[in-house]
Amino acid sequence: MESSSADLFHPRRSLGNRHRTQAIKFLELADADPERHDQNLRWAEQNARQAVLHDFTNELNWTVLADVKHKGGDAGGLRAVLEDLFCVLGRDPELLSQLDEIDMLDAGCELLNGALDADPLDADTWWEGNGADDELDLFERRMFKLDLSDPRANVIFGRRLERVRAGGDEERFIRLVRRLLAHRPVNHEAWGELGRLHERRDEYDDAWFCYDQAQTHFPQVPLRDRFRERITQAMDRAGRKWSVPDQDAREQFLTKMQSLALKVSPPPIQAATGNDEEEVEEVREDEQELARLLDAGETAAAFFLARRLVTRGESWAGEWLERASAQLQDESG
């Protein structure tokens, strides 16, 4: 749990608070001075945007930005604010569907406040309303319907999962953090934390998989190599043996992560004619699937598929792995 002192001295949070305060001041000036209303409103919007940019976890920053858009009569801008917030909240289909059903200037701010009340950005506030087992069951089912690839969504849901872990439900934490990492596999720090949890539980194969992912995305810190050296020495002292998971186990892990990474169900495969089916080799099918996943924005799923193919010895997939890795980095900003 983050301390209040950490909140106080967090530089980006402090900047967010400062810009929000300025935005509120200019909003008040816009109301008080009709002659400079538009100018003050523009300054209010600029500061409100900066507040969200510096601290997207503070609900007040979102509500002030929405208020600016509403007072300026900017229905399109208010919709864009809601769409951005819903990305942070995992692009819940139920929330997104409401955007086409309302008059933005009439009910946009109400929808934003309702979404934040139902799904608080603050992890402690969220835990107060979702810490019971039945609520966590609902949360778990919901997480598997969300798109968590936005780095901000990964932060919000990662903090929630830390509360789940602190509450003693390690099994649920492991299931859900894998879903989170499947959508943003470049999060090497989270892979490392999950690896340490598995290692503490003596689940060495699972620990190796996590450390391997961490080192793949951040080779400057060789967590996988250090773990292998550490566990080998410990096993030797205990008169036991442990070996790196074999190729079949690695392929199974990567296949599972590819499935978890999918944001939507894959489209049905068109039945091929006899001649076409004979001509399409397995390599071409895999290459077509990689292209389809990348074109569909399923970058993480493409990454895990390419990595599985490389693990199998399919050297041609190396180029696709590099492409998917680069795209993941671009999406992470």
Indicate whether 89 pLDDT > 70.
yes
pLDDT at res. 270: 39
* CA–CA dist 201, 63 (Å, integer): 43
State residue 282's pLDDT score: 64
**Can you read off the two tokens belonging to residue 292?**
């389809």
- Segment 292-307 shows an average pLDDT of 90
- Residues of the chain with pLDDT > 70, as a percent, come to 90
pLDDT in tens, 18-43: 999 999 999 999 999 999 999 999 99
Confidence band of 106 (pLDDT split at 50, 70, 90) = very high
Task: Residue 65: name the closest of 83, 95, 44, 87 by CA.
Answer: 44
- Mean predicted confidence (pLDDT) in 261-277: 49
Closest CA to 111 of 126, 96, 121, 131: 96
| pLDDT tens readout for residues 131-180 | 999 999 999 999 999 999 899 999 999 999 999 999 999 999 999 999 99
Structure tokens at 303: 């990454």
List the chain domain ranges. Answer: 6-118, 127-184, 186-245, 252-264+283-331
CA dist 326 → 48, 51, 291, 299, 330 (Å) = 32, 29, 15, 10, 6
Q: Is the whole-model pTM more than 0.85?
A: no
What is the distance between the alpha carbons of residues 107 and 70, in angstroms, rounded to a whole number?
A: 10
CB 214, CB 221: distance < 8 Å: yes
Reply yes or no on whether the pLDDT at 287 is more than 60. Answer: yes
